[in-house]
């Protein structure tokens, strides 16, 4: 039992560390893309094209955040089973 609990904690720690790494990459790469946009077309450009990778990657990052910090609690079969058991009583 204790070993299983430790494995779950390690898995949660691994997911959270991976999220933090992805978040830092997100900011660095998107800052670089904004820099490219600014120095090639500048603020006079009518189209801010870095918005597309920012939004797309941001959506994936939001899912990774939910997995790392909400874990299996959000869509847990065990949690739903317990709710159904409580309703039957």
- Cα torsion through 7, 10, 66, 76, rounded to 10: 10
Residue 71 · residue 12 · CB < 8 Å: yes
What pTM was computed for the model?
A: 0.75
What is the end-to-end Cα distance of the chain in Å, rounded? 29
pLDDT at 1 > cutoff 60: no
**Average pLDDT estimate for 49-76:** 89
For the segment 56-77, the average pLDDT, to the nearest whole number, is: 86
Name the token pair of 28.
């660095």
């Amino acid at each position: 039992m204790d070993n299983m609990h430790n494995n779950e904690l390690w898995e949660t720690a691994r997911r959270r560390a991976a999220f933090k790494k992805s978040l830092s990459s997100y900011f660095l790469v998107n800052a670089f893309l904004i820099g490219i946009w600014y120095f090639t077309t500048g603020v006079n450009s009518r189209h801010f094209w870095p918005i597309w990778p920012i939004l797309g990657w941001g959506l994936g990052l939001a899912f990774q955040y939910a997995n790392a910090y909400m874990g299996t609690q959000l869509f847990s079969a065990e949690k739903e089973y317990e709710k159904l058991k409580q309703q039957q009583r």
